[in-house]
Amino acid sequence: MRDSVVRVSGLVGTLLYAAAIVWMYSAQPQTVAEVTGGLTSTIGVYRIDQQAFDDGLGFFKRDRFDEARAAFARADPAGRDSLTQFYIAYSYYRQGWGRLYNDDALFKQGLEAADRAIAVAPEHRLVVDDVDLGMRTADELRAELQRGLTRDASDFNPLRLLRKRR
């Protein structure tokens, strides 16, 4: 009886350990924070630094995007929180947006952050309840960033000058 208990618990432990290793090799985390964050989020105990997030949100609302991203990165070092990643993507969008042209480098980074937000959101769906935002879903934001990076005839439409940042 005791042997069976030892063997079963050994099997369970081994399976969990093997699953963690397979996850690490498939997710390819690049920092120690991403490794620990990924593992803790897998078992549902990952928490962001709320104070840093609030600081980032404050900077974001005052259009100080570099400071906002620094605070958001501190709040979510593993990149496993969809809301924080959404705001990071939004900060790239707002900073890179231009009436005549967009900053492609910033938009690309924004697109990557939006992809991360969608990837880690529950069921890949994220709706943000923030009245200050022109786009409240990650899908809208991703599509807007994608449009900003695409070159087509509408780029030469003079009415573009009248559009507003969302």
Partner 1 sequence: MTPLRESFALPCLFLTVALLGGLRLGVPGVDVRLVPPPLVSLVLAVLLLGSLVRSRVFAPDRLVANHRPPLENVSGCVVLLTLFAASAQTFNLLTPDSGLLHVLVSVFFLVQLLTTLTAVRERAGMLRSLAVLMGCAFFLRFVALESLYDPGRGVLKRVITALMEGVTLGALDYAPTGSATGYVAFLALTLYLIGLLLLPSGVTRARNVSLVRIGEPPEPDELDRDLAALRRQ
Identity of the residue, 15 or 143, whose beta carbon is nearer to partner 1 in the bound complex: 15
Q: Give the shortest CB-7-to-partner 1 separation in angstroms.
A: 5
Distance in angstroms (rounded) separating the CA atoms of residues 102 and 93: 9
Q: Give the shortest CB-41-to-partner 1 separation in angstroms.
A: 17
Residue recorded with tokens 């549902």? 44
| Amino acid residing at 129 | D
Closest CA to 78 of 51, 45, 110, 54: 45
Take residue 162 and report the two structure tokens written for it: 């009248």
Residue recorded with tokens 């900003």? 148
Q: Give the shortest CB-13-to-partner 1 separation in angstroms.
A: 7
Asked whether 141 and 90 are in contact (CB, 8 A), the reply is yes
Asked whether 138 and 82 are in contact (CB, 8 A), the reply is yes
Identity of the residue, 4 or 50, whose beta carbon is nearer to partner 1 in the bound complex: 4
Identity of the residue, 40 or 137, whose beta carbon is nearer to partner 1 in the bound complex: 40
CB atoms near residue 88 (< 10 Å): 28
Q: Give the shortest CB-26-to-partner 1 separation in angstroms.
A: 9
Distance of CA 5 to the CA centre of its chain: 42
Identity of the residue, 21 or 119, whose beta carbon is nearer to partner 1 in the bound complex: 21
Q: Give the shortest CB-74-to-partner 1 separation in angstroms.
A: 16
**Interaction site with partner 1 (CB under 8 A):** 3-4, 6-11, 13-14, 17-18, 21, 24-25, 28-32, 34-35
Identity of the residue, 31 or 146, whose beta carbon is nearer to partner 1 in the bound complex: 31
